[in-house]
Amino acid sequence: MNFDPAIEAQLAFRRAQAAQELGSDWNLAEELEERFSSSAGAEASRAYRQLVSLGEQYEAAAAFQEFLIYITWQQVTEETIAEHFERGAILCDRFLNRRYDGLSAQTLSQVQALHLSFRQGLGLGDQHDLAKDYERDTPKGGD
């Protein structure tokens, strides 16, 4: 990756604030983000899960969803378990399929890179690889 997910998370979080994406829940998001960023272990994991839960209520909030993708990668680096890879892949799928207006090419590229990394962490590769595998493994005519 040619970017730092921790820095990109902070930038996305500030964009979410500037766009007022979370309305009256912004103060809660700020409190949870502070706990996530300033702690480790169980406390950071709790804050992370609460942020993801909050994000489920705001699926149209592009910058906040982007923020969640980046912090999920941070979770992967702290605790390399399938749950985080799965959640990251799901968040990326939703983000990329939603087709938010006004996303920069850089944002799309970074989310696509993380999507691939989450999928590779699950042993899935990228969609293109899956299509090639399917074509290779599908019996043809006289097989």
pLDDT digits (tens, 9 = 90+) for 42-87: 999 999 999 999 999 999 999 999 999 999 999 999 999 999 999 9
CA torsion 80-82-86-92 (nearest 10°) is 20
Domain annotation covers residue 142 = no
DSSP class of residue 24 equals G
The pLDDT of residue 1 is 80
Domain annotation covers residue 24 = yes
* Whether the predicted pLDDT of 107 surpasses 70: yes
The model's pTM: 0.86
Domain membership of residue 99 as a residue range:
5-137
Per the structure, how many domains does the chain have?
A: 1
Contact indicator for 73, 4 with CB cutoff of 8 Å: no
Helix, strand and coil content of the chain, in percent to the nearest 5, comes to: 75, 0, 25
Contact indicator for 117, 73 with CB cutoff of 8 Å: yes
